[in-house]
Structure 1
Amino acid sequence: MPRSTPRPTGDPIVRPGGHPAATPVPPPQPYGGGAVRGRPGDLGRRGVAVAGRRHRLGRRFQLIAQLSTVLLAIGAVVTVIVRHQEVTARPVPAGVAEPPTTGGPLPLLGSSPATAAPSPSPSPVLRLPGPVPSAGSGRFGYDDRTGPVLGRAGRVQQYRVAVEAGSREEADEFGRAVQVALAGPGSWVDSGRLRLRQVPGGADADFTVYLATARTAGRMCAQGGVDIRVGGLPYTSCRAPGRVVINLDRWRLSVPHFVRAKVPLSVYRLYVVNHEVGHQLGHRHERCPGKGRLAPVMMQQTLFLNGCVANPWPYRDGRRYAGPPL
């Protein structure tokens, strides 16, 4: 019986039902130096097994490829999210202001609450605005406080403080301003031979410091023999026996040459108190010692400076500062 020629391995004959066709089984061959011969049925079954393994491997590779694609997509999304978080939530270096998250305007570059430029200092008050009462009731209210003793040695002189009704000024505020002027440093108590103390209105006093409207000041000064008129109107302040009278016009408005020189109103107030109290203590008028030098406190600075510089103090660095007698 002629031997049938075997088909190539991996290509079995398959019936329409899907099963390999039966073939005669040749005798087994030993392993040797030639090609391995097997039965056609064995070869068919091996082909099916190999094809199955290839199919499973193909599906595995397909699944791995799909999974790799998904993982790559997920990785890309994660990278975008992380980079977005790094951009929007990166740490702010120390000392740098973090921009606001609202829709408002951003701060200027380099600015922060700690390094923002400070607000400019307000300009000094040279005179007070508004009309000044030219006349009051002629009656006075007193600052009834007892103040500290000003100065370190010498006889204590007591003074009272009074403000005219209708002047729109308060007695306690005027009393504090007088105390500042007489306390120094630089005031008359720096001599070491004098002390001053404010006492209530009903107490005995060596003198009284009055704040009066221009009309009342003119009358009070005239009673003491002092004419304070300039151009026919009460203008300056004065000292009469036991009275230091401060003109309300000067207290609120200073004087034109001080305003032109931008001398603060607070400096004029220190000057006018120390000048008139200086008269009460026995000091007379003095002149400017030289152009550009400080004006002596006993110079009539309310009327002129004559080349001197405004100065509210009778003592400088603990030493009496005076000019030539007038």
Structure 2
Amino acid sequence: MPSSARLPVRRQRRFALFAQLVAVVLAVGAAVAVIAEGPGGHPGAERLAADEISTVPPLVAAPLPPSVSPSPSAVVPSSPAPPVLRMPGAVPSAGTGDFGYDARSGPVLGRAGELRRYRVAVESGSDEDAADFAVAVQTALAGPGSWVDSGRLRLQQVPGGAPRDFTVYLATARTAGRMCADGGVDIRVGGRPYTSCRAPGQVIINLDRWRLSVPHFVSAGVPLEVYRTYVVNHEVGHQLGHRHERCPGAGRPAPVMMQQTLFLNGCRANPWPYVDGRRYTGPAL
């Protein structure tokens, strides 16, 4: 057949192919429009079957398996809370003069040596809890670093009515001043009962110091917990027969029997009688 006769047929085929291509493009565009708008966007879109729509899962982080740890860059570091230097609020200056006792028995602290028993008492009207105070006292006396680290002493809390060797009291300033004076100790500074003390069979902790620490500890950023541990070990140290000591040198830890409530004299605050497993002392006062 001559080439002139075949030309219309080729044109017809090209036109048919072009028409099919246009139809495909229009169909794809319609489908994309339906998927993009979602239900309610395009008429009839809600009638599409679920398996006709290709969905993408939401961007939700899946939990890591136990054997996989997040990379350091994926972990947001949290700032530690600043230490408590002193308790907020007013401190009762006087209570009823009566004491409530923690009724629990505690574990034996220490591995060997003489067993000395103590009870814990809190003055009524001090706004302090005897059980909480007992836990703080036990923590201070348990160490590591406390008096029981000598290996020749054990301590144990007993209930209020049980036989004991001494009592640890938490008393308001007025009551502490009276109790210490009765035991022959003047704890006044500037005319006000300021420090704590030991009288025969009595370790007397001043509520003002228990809640407020002392200015030179606060200004140095020493946590209240450190002061509380110090004052318990210091006054119990007196009960055990230890006397006051002095700072052994500027920049060194203060001996626990140094009067850290009044001064540090260049030493650093230290609440423990044993440091690095050895009895730590300073020159006798």
What's the TM-score, normalizing by structure 1? 0.71
> Hey, what's the Cα distance between the residues in 2 that align with 1:57 and 1:116?
68
Q: C-alpha deviations, 1:123-173, integer Å up to 9, x for none?
A: 111101111000000000000100000000001100000000000000000
| Structure 1 SS opposite 2:117 | strand
Counterpart residue number, 1:191:
150
Q: Identify if the C-alpha distance between structure 1 residues 61 and 254 changes in structure 2 by more than 3 Å, giving closer, same or farther.
A: closer
Please say if 1:272 is aligned against 2:231. yes
Residue of 161, 165, 171 corresponding to 2:120: 161
Counterpart residue number, 2:92:
133
> Hey, what's the Cα distance between the residues in 2 that align with 1:292 and 1:58?
102
**What code does the residue aligned with 2:86 have?**
R
Name the larger-Rg structure: 1
Counterpart residue number, 2:208:
249
> Hey, what's the Cα distance between the residues in 1 that align with 2:216 and 2:177?
22
Report deviation, 1:89: 4.8
Q: Identify if the C-alpha distance between structure 1 residues 237 and 61 changes in structure 2 by more than 3 Å, giving closer, same or farther.
A: closer
Counterpart residue number, 1:205:
164
Counterpart residue number, 2:43:
none
Please say if 1:174 is aligned against 2:133. yes
Counterpart residue number, 2:249:
290
> Hey, what's the Cα distance between the residues in 2 that align with 1:260 and 1:61?
93
Report deviation, 1:69: 2.7
**What code does the residue aligned with 1:209 have?**
V
Report deviation, 1:119: 2.4
Residue of 19, 23, 29 corresponding to 1:70: 23
Report deviation, 1:285: 0.2
> Hey, what's the Cα distance between the residues in 2 that align with 1:169 and 1:260?
25
Counterpart residue number, 1:14:
none
| Structure 2 SS opposite 1:180 | helix
| Structure 2 SS opposite 1:157 | strand
Residue of 131, 135, 151 corresponding to 2:110: 151
Report deviation, 1:310: 0.3
Q: Identify if the C-alpha distance between structure 1 residues 55 and 294 changes in structure 2 by more than 3 Å, giving closer, same or farther.
A: closer
> Hey, what's the Cα distance between the residues in 2 that align with 1:204 and 1:90?
71
Q: C-alpha deviations, 1:224-253, integer Å up to 9, x for none?
A: 000000011100000000000000000000
Q: Percent identity?
A: 70
> Hey, what's the Cα distance between the residues in 1 that align with 2:14 and 2:190?
116
Report deviation, 1:91: 10
Q: How many residues align?
A: 255
Higher relative contact order (CA 8 A, sep 6+): 2
Counterpart residue number, 1:238:
197
Report deviation, 1:118: 1.9
Q: C-alpha deviations, 1:180-211, integer Å up to 9, x for none?
A: 00000000000000000000000000000000
Over the aligned positions, Cα root-mean-square deviation in angstroms equals 3.1
Please say if 1:142 is aligned against 2:66. no
Q: C-alpha deviations, 1:256-303, integer Å up to 9, x for none?
A: 000111100000000000000000000000000000000000000000
> Hey, what's the Cα distance between the residues in 1 that align with 2:260 and 2:7?
118
| Structure 1 SS opposite 2:74 | coil
> Hey, what's the Cα distance between the residues in 2 that align with 1:144 and 1:173?
12
**What code does the residue aligned with 2:204 have?**
V
Q: Identify if the C-alpha distance between structure 1 residues 57 and 218 changes in structure 2 by more than 3 Å, giving closer, same or farther.
A: closer
| Structure 1 SS opposite 2:249 | coil
Counterpart residue number, 1:304:
263
Q: Identify if the C-alpha distance between structure 1 residues 247 and 71 changes in structure 2 by more than 3 Å, giving closer, same or farther.
A: same
> Hey, what's the Cα distance between the residues in 2 that align with 1:239 and 1:198?
18
Report deviation, 1:317: 1.6
> Hey, what's the Cα distance between the residues in 1 that align with 2:139 and 2:14?
98
What's the TM-score, normalizing by structure 2? 0.81
